[in-house]
Structures are given as C-alpha cells and as structure tokens.
Chains A and B, each alone.
Chain A
Amino acid sequence: MRKLDASTAPDATAFLNARLIDPQSGKDEPGGLLVRDGVIADLGQHLRRNAPDRAVVIDCKGHVLCPGIIDMQVFTGEPGQEHRETLKTASQAAAAGGVTTMVVMPDTQPVIDQVALVDFIQRRARDNAVVNVHIMAAMTRGLKGQDMTEIGLLKRAGAIAFTNGKSSVANTRVMHNVLLYAKDFGALIAHHTEDPHLVDGAVMNAGEVATRLGLPGAHKAAETIVLERDVRLVEITGGRYHASGISCAESLAVIRSAKQRKLPVTCGVSVNHLTLNENDIGPYRTFFRLRPPLRSEDDRAQMVRGIANGDIDVIVSSHDPQDADVKRHPFAEAADGAIGLETLLAAALRLHHSGEVGLLPLIRAMTANPAKLLGLPSGRLEKGAPADLIVVDLGVPWVVDKVQLKARSKNSPFDESKMQGRVLNTMVAGTLVYQYANGDRS
C-alpha cells in the first residue's frame, strides 16, 4: 500500500452510484453520499458519479444505501454467560448483518439493574464492540417484578429504555407505578407481555400442532391479557409504553385500538414471527422454540400486514444465543431462543421479495422507527446524521451456514435456509466495520 502523507490521506468516504433509501423522508432515488468525520456530510444526485478528491470511494453499483439497522432486542451473555455470546461476538454478528446499533437486554448475570453495571457494559462495548451498543436496563430489581430500579439515575447513566427482560411484571400495582414514575423522566418502558401463570409449563403455541406433539401449549390470550392490562395502565398513567414483541392477531388489534385513542403505545415483532410459524417446529426442532412461541400461519400473516400498514412499529431480531448444552434436549426441556442478528435483514427481505411489504416500510421498521422511539440521531440519511450506513444487495442469493455465522452460539432457525439479499458493507460512525467478500464471509 502506498504511504499516505497529510496532503493525500483520505479524509472522507464517498458512496457512489447508490440507490439511496431514506426511510425517514421516504426518498428512494439514485445518488451518492459523502461521509466526513463520522457523519453524513452531503448526499444527493450530484454525488452519484463524483467523489471529492482525497475520498475513499465505494462504488455501490446501483445497490441500496440506507441507514444501518437499529435492533431493539439483543440478548448477549455478557456479563455472566460469555460462553454463549459476548458484546464483541454479538457486535461482529451485528456488523455482518447490517445492524449498526444494538440495544442489549438486561437479562444477564448479574442483571443490569444498577448504574455501575450500565457503566460496565458501556466500557466493555467501547473497548470491544464494532457497532453502537445501547443498554435497555431492568425496570425492576433483578427482573423480579417487585421493586422499581433507579430509573432516573440509570437513564442519566445512559440506559436508553427500561424493560423487565424476558418476563412480564405480574403485579399490576408495580407495573402501574413503573409507568407512572418513568413518565417523569420521559423513559420508555418496553414490556414482554405474557401472563406467567397462563404459560406456566408451556413450551409452544397451544393448538392442533401442540396437541399432536403432546406438548403443553401457551394460549395466545396469555399475551393479549397482559397487553390489554398494560394499555389500560398507560391510559391512567400516560407513561410511554412499547410492547416489545407481539405475536398474534388479537394483540395487534389491542395495539391498533390503543393507537386510535392516541395513547403513547407502540409495539415490535421479531423477524421470526414474521417469517416462521408453529409448523416449522416439525419433529421437535428446538431451534424453533421461542418466546413468545411461534404461532399459527394466520397470525404470522397478520403480523406481516401489521408491518405493511405501520401498525407494528419495529422489527427486532430478538437475538438470543443459546449453546448446544441447553438446546440439544427434548423439546420440552430445551431453552427458548434463537440467534438472529446476521439473518435479520435477509429474513425480513423475504417479505419484500414476496410482495407482502414494501421496501420502505420494511426498512423503516428497522431504522427510522426504532431511532424515533429511542431518541437516536441515526436511522436516517440526512446531513449531520451519524454515518451508520449499510450497502445492501437486494438480489444476491445465499444459503445460511451456521459454521459461517459469527455469533458464538449457532442456534439459528434459518440454518440451511435460502436467502435473497444481503449486506455488502456496514459502516458505523464513518468506519467500515464489515465488507462482504463473495464466498468468504470473514
């Protein structure tokens, strides 16, 4: 490589010949984009062919250039379960999947329910992660659903939102007080909705498939009952509420009606619930054991419609690394969860290719919408916005190979699945953190 001196050293990166998609403004047009000092310096038609001197040029060859994905639900094993996933390995998986910002969940050992632990994650992420990491802190101590955490101090320390992780707060008074208190700080409460008593012992969706397999099933109502209660509490308290992962048509109806009443209610769905259903479990495949469980095909189709018409705000990967030790068991005894950072975009693109969801609403649900909910400056193509960008080839076919995945645990429900479309380049704050080389995904 040629030695660079000050006068010729690149001070910018130019993306040329791109299809610029900005989900925020709804623009989808050919053009180019210039990155300088970690932010978007300029963009538009005039940059389509021309790069300024001293800029590193990336020829997008007509492929999509859009904001990097903001994944609102990522579980890691750090601290406490590093053999499953660390912030470093998760971030590498994220970069390879086009996720430039991941929001990590507090379900760790110990639980992220104190300022010192938020600080710990931030330092570990700064030193090891190649993408942006934000923390969703616990809203009750130890995620036990009893005592409120220091929401004000945690938020000041950098916690971006609050959650009870993989469990619902069963105690209605606690939930009420959390929403009320969080409101004073403008904090977002993201809640997993599942009545713990109704799903006790259940390992999949209740229905014909569960009956045939002889597995205890969780009724959809377990999700909807808690969601309805929460919406009622939002009505009383005015707290900002986000249902972190809905899975059935009935829940979508609750969200829709709450939005019609102008309540500060939003919701997310995992890409798994948009692309898979309970039949995929087949002969007890534990990689399809998820929480909430995969539902019927009708429910999946409803979730997809919810994304298409904007009733569902956010798509998440719900990346949840589980190693063979907890997955290679009889279905009823295996752990919940599937990895998803690297397959999130490709799996979501299935909905685009099938014509079920337009490209703009699809990308919006993974970029602009979560950015707005979390108050992040990214998720848009705009002068001054952080240069968190991805180049996406919508058409390239590939087959998921778990050996090639960067996540430390390999529990992907999409292993050996055919995909169409993938990330070619991932840039975080002006630095290229991932580049796809054909045939070599390292």
Chain B
Amino acid sequence: MTSAIHPATFARRHLLTCEGLKAGEINALLDLADNAAEGNRQVIKKRDVLRGRTLINLFFEASTRTQSSFELAGKRLSADVMNMNVSTSSMAKGETLIDTAMTLNAMRPDILVVRHHAAGAVELLAQKVDCSVINAGDGAHQHPTQALLDALTIRRAKGRIAGLTVAICGDILHSRVARSNINVLNTMGARVRVVAPSTLLPSHADRLGAEVFTDMNAGLQAADIVMMLRLQKERMQGSYVPSTREYFHFFGLDHEKLARAKPDALIMHPGPMNRGVEIASTIADHSRSVIREQVEMGVAVRMAVLEAMARLLPNH
C-alpha cells in the first residue's frame, strides 16, 4: 500500500538506526522475514544467499541472544560467521575502537554486526570500514533489528501495525529498544505510549513521538500491545527507583494492571526478563505472551536484513 510512495525494497549499505526508515522499507524487510520464518520451520533451513561471504559479529558488550540470533541467521544463509568478543580481543589491551575497526577491515569482511556500550560507536565504526555494518545495539541509542522483530511479531499476531496502541513500559531512559521501537512503530502508524517513573524517562520523551505516562494503569488503558523493558539490577536500589519491591508494585506487569489493556492485548519483552521485577512470572508465561515468538522472529528478521544487504554487496 505504501509501495506507491516508497519503493518496497530495503536498499541501504548499513543499518544503523531506525530514525528515517520508510514504511516501504520496513514492510519489505518484514515480508522477507515472513518468508525466512517459514523457511526456519522446515527441516532443511539453509539457503545459499550469503555463500562465500564473511560476517563478523563484533560484540563489545556481552549478549547471548542477539549474538546467537545473528550467528544463526548468518549460518542459515551460508555465510562464514566469526564471533569476536571484546573480553578476548585487543580492546582489552587498550586498542581504540577505530584501530580495531581498521584491523577488522583489513580482514575484508562483507558484513559487520556490532554491539557497543557507547551511543554512536557503531556509526563511528561504519565511517571507517568498507563493508556493510549492522547496529546490534549502541548504548542507549538504537537497536534496529530488535524493533523490526517486534514489528514482525506484532504484524503476524495482529495482522497489522497501523492503528494499534502500543505501551512501552519500564526503563525508557536507558533503553535503545524503546527508541528504535518508537521510531518504527510511529512510521508504521501505531500510537505509541511510554510508561515509566519520571526518573526513568528521558527529557522531551514526547518529542520522539510517544505519549508519556507515569501511571501504569492509565498508560495501559485499552492498549493492544504491552511491551515491557528490562530494568537493570544496578538501577533498582535507590539510584533511579527505591527498590525492586516498590518498582514491581507500581510498574511491574501483573494481572491487575494487565486487565486495563484490551482483552486480547499481547505481552512482549525483549529479554532477558527479570521475573518479579518488571513482569510477574505468570504473566511471562501467559497465553497472550509472545515473548518466545519474538525470539523466533529475531532470527527471521536478521536473515531478512542480511538478505536485503546481500543484494547490495559488490560482486567482483
């Protein structure tokens, strides 16, 4: 439907941010991902889209699911996948990010998947290398593939994204997932709310395109999607919220608060979950929870992004 205005393809060298992605591009990726999801449920899951290509997972910050998701996505497309973790690399010996980038560049990878604890670090790195770069999370800035997999999960479960009310709840201040999701969901025509105590809200959050709530009951009212975010342990003991107990009382997703949302509201969480902190254990395993589907769609979306990028990789 938007293809008349925007070409229904994703043709970018890098995927660094969701800011500025067009609806046509997002739909094109989600369509590709739908196909990939189908293929992932077959016995033979491997295709040769990236045969002969090298994908390097460069993770400066520990991650289990995103890294393994990218690794699997690369392998299912027949890429040679290498994982590099900072703890075992020369960064620990004092090498700068740019030097590391230049070193890796010399190894001639085709695609670099990068996670870094500093906002903007992936963009900085992308400026210095010759290959395609995918942002797998940079500080509190962006996590594009997470927002895309969330969009895919929603689209598959609800048949659409436009017109839905999505409540993103929790530590918005430090969340790259929230920022990317606000971008993508707005572009796709959803109504986005952010729900958090004021200490966990960034300033001018409304300017990002989200309605701001500090009362979770109000924020969940008639929501179609309840998206919970992880609250890191070091932020629970007095620095941003007084205690996990108080946080759960006011901002943890339990049955009572969930009852404010629509009866068919979906429950999402990017993981890893803190059961009993931001989400009641029984809710996490609720029939309307699509948390496991999110993980499945993560592989599919990452395959879609890699496949779209593969078309642009030089062939000589």
Interface string of B165-208 (1 = CB under 8 A from A): 00000000000100100000000000000000000001111011
Look across to chain A and name the residue whose beta carbon is closest to the beta carbon of B201: A211
A329 interfacial by beta-carbon distance below 8 Å: yes
* Least Cβ–Cβ distance between A281 and chain B, in angstroms: 10
Q: Are B96 and A213 in contact (CB under 8 A)?
A: no
Look across to chain B and name the residue whose beta carbon is closest to the beta carbon of A203: B119
Give residues 394-438 of A contacting B (CB, 8 Å): none
**Which single member of A208, A214, A325, A328 contacts B119 (CB below 8 Å)?**
A214
CA distance A325 to B96 in the complex (A): 8
CA distance A219 to B141 in the complex (A): 19
Binds A, one of B77-85, B120-128, B151-159, B285-293: B120-128
* Least Cβ–Cβ distance between B32 and chain A, in angstroms: 27
A212 interfacial by beta-carbon distance below 8 Å: yes
A385 interfacial by beta-carbon distance below 8 Å: no
Look across to chain A and name the residue whose beta carbon is closest to the beta carbon of B116: A330
Provide the residues of chain A in CB contact with B118, threshold 8 Å: 329-333
A180 interfacial by beta-carbon distance below 8 Å: no
A351 interfacial by beta-carbon distance below 8 Å: no
Q: Are A208 and B142 in contact (CB under 8 A)?
A: no
Look across to chain B and name the residue whose beta carbon is closest to the beta carbon of A328: B98
B34 interfacial by beta-carbon distance below 8 Å: no
CA distance A287 to B199 in the complex (A): 30
Given A215-B119, A330-B121, residue A208 in contact with residue B96 (CB < 8 A): no
Provide the residues of chain B in CB contact with A211, threshold 8 Å: 202-205, 207-208
Look across to chain B and name the residue whose beta carbon is closest to the beta carbon of A209: B204
B278 interfacial by beta-carbon distance below 8 Å: no
Provide the residues of chain A in CB contact with B204, threshold 8 Å: 207-208, 211
Given A212-B19, A214-B140, A215-B140, residue A331 in contact with residue B120 (CB < 8 A): yes
Q: Are A284 and B120 in contact (CB under 8 A)?
A: yes
Provide the residues of chain A in CB contact with B119, threshold 8 Å: 213-215, 284, 330-332
Provide the residues of chain A in CB contact with B120, threshold 8 Å: 213-215, 283-284, 330-332
* Least Cβ–Cβ distance between B234 and chain A, in angstroms: 13
A99 interfacial by beta-carbon distance below 8 Å: no
B236 interfacial by beta-carbon distance below 8 Å: no
A210 interfacial by beta-carbon distance below 8 Å: yes
A386 interfacial by beta-carbon distance below 8 Å: no
B139 interfacial by beta-carbon distance below 8 Å: yes
Provide the residues of chain A in CB contact with B176, threshold 8 Å: 214
B97 interfacial by beta-carbon distance below 8 Å: yes
Look across to chain A and name the residue whose beta carbon is closest to the beta carbon of B183: A212
* Least Cβ–Cβ distance between A282 and chain B, in angstroms: 10
Q: Are A214 and B138 in contact (CB under 8 A)?
A: yes
Interface string of A300-326 (1 = CB under 8 A from B): 000000000000000000000000010
Interface string of B270-293 (1 = CB under 8 A from A): 000000000000000000000000
CA distance A215 to B117 in the complex (A): 11
A206 interfacial by beta-carbon distance below 8 Å: yes
Interface string of B76-103 (1 = CB under 8 A from A): 0000000000000000000011100000
Give residues 183-232 of A contacting B (CB, 8 Å): 206-208, 210-217, 219
Q: Are B203 and A284 in contact (CB under 8 A)?
A: no
Provide the residues of chain B in CB contact with A332, threshold 8 Å: 118-120, 139
Q: Are A208 and B141 in contact (CB under 8 A)?
A: no
Provide the residues of chain B in CB contact with A330, threshold 8 Å: 97, 116, 118-121, 124, 138-139
CA distance A15 to B26 in the complex (A): 68
CA distance A401 to B112 in the complex (A): 33
Q: Are B207 and A208 in contact (CB under 8 A)?
A: yes
CA distance A206 to B139 in the complex (A): 16
* Least Cβ–Cβ distance between B84 and chain A, in angstroms: 17
Question: Which residue among A212, A214, A216, A284 has the maximum number of chain B CB atoms within 10 Å of its CB?
Answer: A214
Provide the residues of chain B in CB contact with A329, threshold 8 Å: 96-98, 118, 124
Question: Which residue among B120, B141, B207 has the maximum number of chain A CB atoms within 10 Å of its CB?
Answer: B120
Given A208-B203, A330-B118, A332-B120, residue A214 in contact with residue B97 (CB < 8 A): no
CA distance A219 to B205 in the complex (A): 15
* Least Cβ–Cβ distance between B142 and chain A, in angstroms: 7
Provide the residues of chain A in CB contact with B98, threshold 8 Å: 328-329
* Least Cβ–Cβ distance between A390 and chain B, in angstroms: 39
Provide the residues of chain B in CB contact with A284, threshold 8 Å: 119-120, 123-124
Q: Are B142 and A214 in contact (CB under 8 A)?
A: yes
* Least Cβ–Cβ distance between A277 and chain B, in angstroms: 15
CA distance A212 to B202 in the complex (A): 9
CA distance A332 to B141 in the complex (A): 11
* Least Cβ–Cβ distance between A51 and chain B, in angstroms: 56
Give residues 378-394 of A contacting B (CB, 8 Å): none
Look across to chain A and name the residue whose beta carbon is closest to the beta carbon of B140: A214
Given A212-B208, A330-B124, residue A217 in contact with residue B203 (CB < 8 A): yes
CA distance A52 to B19 in the complex (A): 69
Provide the residues of chain B in CB contact with A283, threshold 8 Å: 120, 123
* Least Cβ–Cβ distance between B128 and chain A, in angstroms: 9
Look across to chain A and name the residue whose beta carbon is closest to the beta carbon of B60: A330
Look across to chain B and name the residue whose beta carbon is closest to the beta carbon of A205: B203
Give residues 197-253 of B contacting A (CB, 8 Å): 202-205, 207-208
CA distance A234 to B293 in the complex (A): 63
Provide the residues of chain B in CB contact with A213, threshold 8 Å: 119-120, 141
* Least Cβ–Cβ distance between B127 and chain A, in angstroms: 9
CA distance A212 to B116 in the complex (A): 17
Provide the residues of chain B in CB contact with A206, threshold 8 Å: 203
* Least Cβ–Cβ distance between A265 and chain B, in angstroms: 29
* Least Cβ–Cβ distance between B224 and chain A, in angstroms: 25
CA distance A217 to B204 in the complex (A): 12
Provide the residues of chain A in CB contact with B205, threshold 8 Å: 211
Provide the residues of chain A in CB contact with B203, threshold 8 Å: 206-208, 210-211, 217, 219
* Least Cβ–Cβ distance between A325 and chain B, in angstroms: 8
CA distance A219 to B204 in the complex (A): 12
CA distance A144 to B208 in the complex (A): 40
Provide the residues of chain B in CB contact with A216, threshold 8 Å: 140
CA distance A212 to B17 in the complex (A): 11
Please give 10 more A-B residue pairs, beta carbons under 8 A apart, in addition to A206-B203, A215-B120: A208-B204, A211-B203, A211-B208, A212-B19, A213-B141, A215-B140, A328-B96, A328-B98, A330-B97, A333-B118
A contact set with B: CB distance below 8 Å: 206-208, 210-217, 219, 283-284, 325, 328-333
Q: Which 8 A-B pairs have the closest CB atoms?
A: A214-B141, A284-B120, A330-B118, A214-B140, A330-B121, A208-B204, A214-B119, A211-B202
A-B contact pairs, 17 of them (CB 8 A): A208-B203, A210-B203, A211-B203, A211-B207, A213-B119, A214-B139, A214-B141, A214-B179, A215-B119, A217-B202, A283-B123, A330-B118, A330-B119, A330-B121, A330-B138, A330-B139, A331-B120
